[in-house]
């Protein structure tokens, strides 16, 4: 399972050895025991990858669209978990098959270094 966590300041992507059903069950129990709201609904999320990294996804069947000259946006559909139905903060969990999930997580990690590199070079 791929877990995308959206906060007000960041996005993180992880590959976990859980099913979507197990994640939803765990989160539901935590919310129930803590007396907190939990909204679980179909949803989608997107993230950007440098175009040269995103080409590694090739024929994966993912929805990939240009967002500017050097970046492509990858959109995933899955299950959205949040405390409020209209919130932009929450967790998207997606099952795409273990190999593709791991590949996306690795590309995401590589993209973090790609983003930092141009900023750290002096002129």
Residues 37, 47, 104, CA angle at the centre, nearest 5°? 100
pLDDT tens column, 62-103: 999 998 889 999 999 999 999 998 999 999 999 999 999 999
Give me the phi and psi of 95, to 5 degrees please: -110, 120
Confidence of residue 121 (pLDDT cuts 50, 70, 90): very low
* Pairing assessment for the beta strands 63-66 and 39-50 based on DSSP bridges: unpaired
Strand residue runs (E) in the chain: 2-6, 11-15, 39-50, 63-66, 71-82, 90-94
Confidence of residue 114 (pLDDT cuts 50, 70, 90): low
Provide the token pair at 75: 């959109």
pLDDT tens column, 13-52: 999 999 999 999 999 999 999 999 999 999 999 999 999 9
Answer yes or no: pTM beyond 0.85. yes
């Amino acid at each position: 399972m791929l877990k995308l966590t959206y906060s007000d300041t960041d996005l993180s992507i992880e590959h976990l050895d859980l099913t979507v059903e197990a994640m939803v069950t765990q989160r539901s129990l935590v919310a129930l025991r803590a007396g907190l709201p939990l909204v679980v609904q179909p949803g989608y999320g997107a993230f950007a990858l440098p175009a040269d990294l995103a080409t590694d996804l090739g024929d994966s069947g993912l929805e990939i669209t240009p967002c500017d000259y050097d970046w492509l946006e990858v959109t995933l559909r899955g299950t959205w978990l949040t405390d409020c139905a209209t919130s932009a903060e929450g967790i998207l969990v997606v099952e795409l098959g273990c190999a593709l999930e791991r590949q996306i997580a690795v590309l995401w990690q590589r993209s973090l270094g790609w983003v930092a590199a141009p900023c750290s070079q002096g002129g």
